[in-house]
Structure formats: structure tokens, C-alpha cells
Amino acid sequence: MRNIYALPLTTFVLFATATSHAQCDFDPTITPSDLILCPNEQGTLTTQVYDSYQWYKAGAPLAGETGPTFSVNAFNDAAYYFKVEATLNGCTEMSPEVLVDGWAFLPPFVMTSDNYLFIDGGAAVFCEGDTARLILMPPYDINIQWTNNGVPIPGATDDTLMIFEPGNFHVSGATSICPDFIQQLGVTVPIDFQAPIQPVISISPEDICADPPGLTYQWYNNGVPVEGMTTQCPEGVGAGVWTVTVVYDPDCSIPSEPFIITAVDEDHNGGSDLMLSPVPTADHITLTSNASSPIGAWRLLDATGRIALKGDGLKRSLVNVDVSMLRAGAYWLQSANRASLPVIIAR
């Protein structure tokens, strides 16, 4: 039976040799042990002071690298292991390996706001008056600069760019981890704007019409939507300030200019006891109660029905209203328990 304590001869010789060889009384190390380089960055590996040195990369000795330091760079040395062999007083020891790592980033990416009308030749087309938005996506968050047609935009150093005019936009930036490594977007982002369509109201002996024709219509009388008036040429229109909104394809539109119809009978007029002058006006209007009764609360509506001005003529039969700050156009004056009156501001 084989003796379990018996070893092959080669094993015994190796064991005896290993135990008879004295180990060096120093242990070389490399600092830093966790070096991570930014793209295009350089770094230095360092060991302690000994008599001689030999540096290794991926297990192979590096010719001529026999000093206490070794220079590395991201392009050649990232993702490789390094070690150094040091000799002191005739004794040689090998250091533990260290990994030189490197940061890697995806190319910059820009996201465009999705409220554009359509894409034309690669350009996102927005409606004039809308705002386009470009966003430089993470991790690019520092040293950002946007340009338009190759010219830097003053103050445009944030990750989000608000755009109000056409152009060809580009951005460069870096990450907080590697702020000196500036990356370029690589492409320009063309943005264009389309002038909105404003329908025009015209009148015929029987009705009014909106041109050019569109997909859908909504008519307003004195700023209030009229139920059922959703055709290009509605019938049965009466007195008042008329406007219309039209949806086009693609829909880039604004409401029409006000269209005033004043040929109404006494019953429709409502027999208001208010007088308004001058009409038209440039800077002020005067409200007068014919019956010398208090005018009361009043409000001035624009063509879309929004309140442009309001006030209170409580205990007064004459009120002066300053309209100099309002835009020129058609308005509608409403007072409690009275028929509305048209107001025209012209300059």
C-alpha cells in the first residue's frame, strides 16, 4: 500500500527550494492604486525608493522603464494592469498589480421638443410665436455652449436652450467627472418657424365667411362662442363684434381680426341708456348715462372675450376710461343690465 506521506521527488525539491530562499524585507507598492483617467488625460504611477526598477504592463516588461515613476495616458494604457519589480541591496520583489482605468462616455445627444408642426428637409418646423426647445442629455452638464449658425449664443450655457427664431443649432459640453474633455454634438439641429395663418372675415348679403377655408371653425360674438356656428359661412349672424378661429392642417393659426356688424334693429340693440364717445378713439372713452342713473360695474372685453379693463361707476352717471395702454382693435363694453356697446381703438 502507498504511503500517504511520501511525495514525488520533484515536489520535495521544489518545497525545499522555496523554504530555503529568504524573502526580501520590503514590499513595493504602486500609487495611486485606483487611477481612472479622463479621455486624453495623462497620469503617473509611483513606487517607493529602491536601488533599481523594472515596470511591467500586462505582465510583460517595458523596455527602458527603469525609474521610480511611470507615465500613463488614457489612449494607450486605460484598461491595462501594471506592476513594478524593485531591487534593494541585491534583493528583488514584485509589487501587486494595479489597474489603470479610463472614463468612457457616449457621444452627446440632444432631444427636441415635440410641439413642432412637421419635419421639412431635416428641420423641425414650429409655428411662429411658439417656442422650440433643445435639451442636451446627461451626463453632459458643464462647460456647455450653444451656437446658432456657428456663432456662440451669449449666455446659452445651460443644458436647455429655448429657441424663438430659425437657425442651425449646435452644442458642446463636458461632464462634471471630466470637465476639461469637451465633446461636440457632431451635427447641427435645424429649426424653422412658419408664419401663422389668420383667417379673414368677409360679408355677403346673406352671411359672413372665413377665408381661407380650413378643417374646423368656431365663431364668436362679442368674445363668446356661438353654439352651432362651426361652418365656414354661418347663417343668421346679427350685430356685434365677430371673430372666428379656424383649424388648418398643419394647424398654425391665430384668431381673425374682429369684424363689427352694427346694422341692427332696436329690439336687438336692447335700448341701452348708455352713451359712449368718441368712437373710434385713440386714448380714452367717456361713458354717460342718459337717464342720469348710476353706470355701475362695467368691463371692456377684447375680441376673444377676455377682460381688458374693468371698473365701477357706482353713484356716477359719467365715467372717463383711459384706453391708451390697450392695443388698437375692436372691443366690447358691457355694463350691468344694459346692452353691450362696440368700442373701436384706432391709432
Cell matching residue 346: 384706432
First to last CA, the chain: 123
Distances (CA, A) of 316 to 44, 170, 290: 88, 62, 12
Distance (Å, whole) CA 124 – CA 166:
10
| Res 18: pLDDT | 34
| Res 311: pLDDT | 86
| Res 287: pLDDT | 85
141 touches 159 (CB < 8 A) = yes
* pLDDT band at 346; cut points 50, 70, 90: confident
| Res 341: pLDDT | 81
Is the predicted pLDDT of residue 277 greater than 90, yes or no? Answer: no
| Res 42: pLDDT | 96
Q: In Å, how far from its chain's centre is CA 141?
A: 14
Q: Domain 22-102 adopts which CATH fold?
A: Immunoglobulin-like (2.60.40)
270-345: CATH class: mainly beta
Cell matching residue 59: 505582465
Is the predicted pLDDT of residue 288 greater than 80, yes or no? Answer: yes
- Tens of pLDDT, residue by residue over 166-182, are 999 999 999 999 999 99
Lowest mean pLDDT among 6-15, 68-77, 98-107, 225-234: 6-15
CATH 2.60.40.10 maps onto the chain at 22-102, 110-194, 270-345
- Tens of pLDDT, residue by residue over 91-133, are 999 999 999 999 999 999 999 988 889 998 889 999 998 999 9
Distances (CA, A) of 50 to 21, 22, 46, 66, 169: 21, 18, 12, 11, 57
The alpha helices in 112-223, defined as continuous H runs, are none
| Res 55: pLDDT | 98
Of residues 177 and 5, more confidently modeled: 177
Three-state SS string over 57-81 comes to ECCEECCCCCCCEEEEEHHHHCCEE
| Res 280: pLDDT | 83
Average pLDDT, the chain: 85
Lowest mean pLDDT among 28-32, 76-80, 293-297, 313-317: 313-317
Q: Quote the pTM value.
A: 0.62
Distance (Å, whole) CA 141 – CA 176:
7
287 touches 267 (CB < 8 A) = no
Which pairs with CB-CB distance under 8 Å and at least 24 residues apart come from 66-71? Answer: 69/44, 69/45, 70/44, 70/45, 71/42, 71/43, 71/44, 71/45
Quick one: average pLDDT of 61-83?
A: 96
* pLDDT band at 7; cut points 50, 70, 90: very low
Is the predicted pLDDT of residue 2 greater than 90, yes or no? Answer: no
* pLDDT band at 5; cut points 50, 70, 90: very low
Lowest mean pLDDT among 230-234, 265-269, 288-292: 265-269
Which of 21-25, 222-226, 294-298 reaches the highest mean pLDDT? Answer: 222-226
Q: In the block, which residue shows the cell 365715467? A: 319
- Tens of pLDDT, residue by residue over 299-345, are 888 766 778 898 887 677 788 899 999 988 878 888 765 667 888 88
Of residues 22 and 172, more confidently modeled: 172
Report whether CATH 3.90.1150.10 matches the domain 110-194: no
Cell matching residue 257: 381680426
Q: What is the DSSP letter of 93?
A: E
Which of 22-31, 136-145, 258-267 reaches the highest mean pLDDT? Answer: 136-145
Quick one: average pLDDT of 48-59?
A: 97
| Res 207: pLDDT | 75
